[in-house]
Amino acid sequence: MRPRLRTTRGGQYDGPAIASDLGFVTVTPGRRIAAAAAVTFGNVTHTAPACTAGPTLEVTLRITNRKAVLSGLAVLGVVTLFAGCAPAPESSGASGGGDAASDFLPCMVSDAGGFDDKSFNQLGFEGLTEAADKLGVEPITVESASETDYQPNIDNLVDQGCTLIVTVGFLLAEATASAAEANPDINFAIIDDFVDLDQDGKTDFDNIKPIVFDTVQAGFLGGYAAAAYSKTGVVGTYGGIQIPPVTIFMDGFVEGVAYHNEQKGTAVQALGWDAAAQNGSFTGNFDAGVDSKTLAAGLIDQNADVLLPVGGPIYKSAVEAVRDSGREIAMVGVDADLTQTDPNAADLFLTSILKDIKVAVEEVVNEAAAGNVDGTPFVGTLENDGVGIAPFHDFEAKVPQGLADELETVKAGIIDGSIKVESPSSPK
């Protein structure tokens, strides 16, 4: 468990929060935060007084024993709480606070996959940090270890004065709605959900901007490519949790396989997902581990030679299963071009089904910084390049000749509507 710095509004201390893994938190000069800083470890909080720019503010925590740390319970012993603490600067009489950009603080909460998942969360993180860097502001990002972290993490960012909070994933919808309702003056954006909890066809609160993707279109191209490449005539897919942002990939994939069969007279089987019945194989989580590896190995045992694992880090266990099999099996990545984000597995990826989360987040951050953000959803499609598929990379010489051109033709047909691609999970 890491101690965290929380802040409340008021004066300023000219420094960002920097938390160590254990033992202490140091705040060093760098940027404005709020008047009072509180260090929280487990359920224990100590609040420091308001500080202005000056020497380092240091708070030291004393941990009772290792067992207490591992259980998430610790005693907070304040050894030092000092430095450059002075009354907040007196008002000059101006009502301002600088231009809008100086007060803009973009923030993000991950889902349980974490920001190093090589995929979904990482793309959102990169979009946020790159936009913030160009704007000259320091973002705050918080990783969630489990679903129980979502609401506390969002509330923590509210307390720290964030003006835009981006939540990464469908599973954060309820926590995002709760925070948006309680804080109407803060802008929220959420990836992969409309936050329509009352199911009236509209986002529940005006201060939430949905960032969603019609991934079935790109999944269709991925399925077509997989069917064209397969030597065994069997491909397979499985997901993490059965939620719309996962099953939409699977819908597109199996539809693309079926379309290839129709156009080419092939009979490639797609295992792991029944699009008509909307049921299939899932690990029940978004963790790399035995559940994912077991499902991947099961598909390999059924002679599948192309695998599509959908759910952030779960692909890592599929990589292990492929390596262990000793067979020539290709994989299709999701969200990011996994050949680039995970070079150690680049030799296995036929292609990846892409969601341009990074660019979408950058766009929303820039809109919010300019004061132009609204609740109009960003919807990524093939037409606006919000979704797509990655190049074949190492498989360029292994795929059938002319496949790239065929995919461009299929893409054009999806865009103009002559090829019907549907999923119950598509953005409406």
Kindly report the number of other CB atoms within 10 A of residue 107's CB atom.
Answer: 25
pLDDT surpasses 80 at 82: no
How far apart, in whole angstroms, are the C-alpha atoms of residue 54 and residue 13?
8
Best CA proximity match to 229, nearest among 325, 354, 326, 348: 348
pLDDT of residue 116: 86
Is residue 48 within 8 Å of residue 38, measured between CB atoms?
yes
Burial of 277 (0-12, 13-18, 19+ CB in 10 A): exposed
- The CA-based angle 303-308-313, given to 5 degrees, is 125
- The CA-based angle 357-333-356, given to 5 degrees, is 15
Q: Which residue has the higher pLDDT, 198 or 67?
A: 198
**Same fold for the pair 99-213+356-384 and 215-355+396-416:** yes
Is residue 37 within 8 Å of residue 58, measured between CB atoms?
no
pLDDT surpasses 60 at 21: no
Give the H or E element holding residue 422: none
For 121-162, the pLDDT digits (tens) are 999 999 999 999 999 999 999 999 999 999 999 999 999 999
Confidence of residue 119 (pLDDT cuts 50, 70, 90): confident
How far apart, in whole angstroms, are the C-alpha atoms of residue 233 and residue 270?
9
Architecture per CATH, domain 99-213+356-384, reads as 3-Layer(aba) Sandwich (3.40)
Tokens in use for 159?
A: 């307390």
* Mean pLDDT, residues 219-247: 97
CA distances from 426 to 177, 248, 281 (A): 21, 7, 20
Amino acid type, 40: T
* Mean pLDDT, residues 392-410: 97
Strands (E), 36-127: 36-41, 44-48, 57-60, 106-109
Taking the mean position of all CA atoms in its chain, how far away is CA 333?
A: 15
pLDDT of residue 101: 55
* Mean pLDDT, residues 114-123: 87
Domains of the chain: which residue ranges?
1-91, 99-213+356-384, 215-355+396-416
How far apart, in whole angstroms, are the C-alpha atoms of residue 140 and residue 166?
10
Give me the long-range contacts of 379-383 (CB less than 8 A, separation at least 24): 379/212, 379/213, 379/214, 379/427, 380/211, 380/212, 380/213, 380/214, 380/215, 380/355, 380/356, 381/213, 381/214, 381/217, 381/415, 382/214, 382/217, 382/218, 382/411, 382/414, 382/415, 383/415
C-alpha dihedral over 93, 99, 101, 107, to 10 degrees? 30
At residue 211, φ and ψ (nearest 5 deg) are -120, 105
pLDDT surpasses 70 at 240: yes
Helix/strand number for the chain, H first, E second = 12, 22
Contacts of 409 (CB under 8 A, 6+ apart): none
HSE at residue 283, side-chain half, CA atoms within 13 A, is: 28
Is residue 386 within 8 Å of residue 217, measured between CB atoms?
no
pLDDT of residue 22: 33
Please name the fold of domain 215-355+396-416.
Rossmann fold (3.40.50)
CA distances from 292 to 119, 317, 334, 417 (A): 16, 6, 15, 36
For 48-72, the pLDDT digits (tens) are 433 333 333 333 332 223 233 333 3
Tokens in use for 7?
A: 């802040």
How far apart, in whole angstroms, are the C-alpha atoms of residue 20 and residue 61?
11
